[in-house]
Amino acid sequence: MKISFTLNDKKVNIDVDPMKRLLDVIREDFGLLGTKEGCGEGECGACTILLNGKPVTSCILNAIHADGKEIYTVEGIAEKPIGKLLIDCFDETNAVQCGFCFPGFLVSSYYYLKTDGEKNLDKIKKALSGNICRCTGYQKVFESVMLACVRKS
Ligand code: FES
Ligand code: FES
């Protein structure tokens, strides 16, 4: 089936099995390897992307869900001013260890900064509650996002 959508600000077309997982389309067909697979069951957030502006887990969506939509992966978000700001803040606070969870955290944090952005720990915790990190505590991640909230305003 032919589908078309916008991927990181570019119009794309692809002939694909409509039931292929969107995560696999992103990684295999478009070579965007920043989006990770952790649990494969919609629980860990490693595969988070923005679909029509909202964070979703791409491992539980199929290619058909992308048709006619606008998608940003971590690669696209990393090019945006708020994405760059967040990356700097994660870097400064040493919030990342192995980095596997980082793309998902970046996408969810980006959404928070775009839609709210208040330096409010409870709100930030809630916004990132779908993202799991196996390496570390979450405190530095929260600090990073708080720092980005301050710098953005
Ligand atoms: S890999 Fe998609 S939520 Fe874990
Ligand atoms: S830094 Fe390793 S899973 Fe989060």
Last residue of a domain, one of 23, 50, 76: 76
CB 39 near ligand 1, within 6 Å: yes
In a shared domain, residues 42 and 54: yes
Task: Return the pLDDT at 121.
Answer: 98
Is the beta carbon of 56 within 6 A of some atom in ligand 1? Answer: no
Give the integer Cα–Cα distance in Å for 126 and 141. 13
Number of domains comprising the chain: 2
> Ligand 2: which atom is nearest the Cα of residue 99?
1
Considering the domain architecture, whether residues 120 and 65 belong to the same structural domain is answered as: no
Do both 56 and 84 map to the same domain? no
Same domain assignment for residues 39 and 65: yes
49 lines ligand 1 (CB under 6 A): no
Q: Return the percentage of the chain with pLDDT > 70, whole number.
A: 100
Are 68 and 85 within one domain? no
Q: Which pLDDT band, with edges at 50, 70 and 90, does 137 fall under?
A: confident
Using the 8-state DSSP alphabet, how is residue 47 labeled? T
| Ligand 2 atom closest to the CA of 134, numbered from 1 | 3
- pLDDT tens track for 64-74: 999 999 999 99
89 and 64 in a single domain? The answer is no
Answer whether 133's CB lies under 8 Å from 146's CB: no
Report how far residue 125's alpha carbon sits from residue 129's, in angstroms, rounded to the nearest whole number. Answer: 6
Yes or no: say if 38 and 47 are a contact pair by the CB < 8 Å rule.
yes
Q: Which domain holds residue 90?
A: 80-152
What one-letter code names the amino acid at 48? T
Residues with CB under 6 A from ligand 2: 96-101, 133-136
Atom of ligand 1 nearest to the CA of 60: 2
Backbone phi, then psi, for 119, in 5-degree steps?
A: -80, 80
Taking the CA of 46 as reference, the closest ligand is: 1
CATH number at residue 7: 3.10.20.30
CA dihedral 29, 30, 34, 40 (to 10 degrees): -30
Q: Are 56 and 71 in contact (CB under 8 A)?
A: no
Q: ∠ at Cα 72 (71, 73), nearest 5°? A: 120
Tell me which of 76, 111, 126 is where a domain ends: 76
For the whole model, what pTM was predicted? 0.97
Triad 143, 50, 21: Cα angle to 5°: 120
Mean pLDDT of the chain: 97
User: Of the residues 24, 33, 35, 47, which should be mutated to test ligand 1's pocket, given the most ligand atoms within 8 Å of the CB?
Assistant: 47
Q: Looking at the structure, do residues 72 and 109 belong to the same domain, yes or no? A: no
84 shares a domain with 71: no
Q: State the closest ligand 1 atom to the C-alpha of 36, by its place in the atom list counted from 1.
A: 1
Can you tell me the distance from the alpha carbon of 98 to that of 55, in angstroms, rounded to the nearest whole number?
22
- The answer, yes or no, to whether residue 136 has pLDDT greater than 90, is no
Q: Output the six-digit token pair for 67.
A: 């048709």
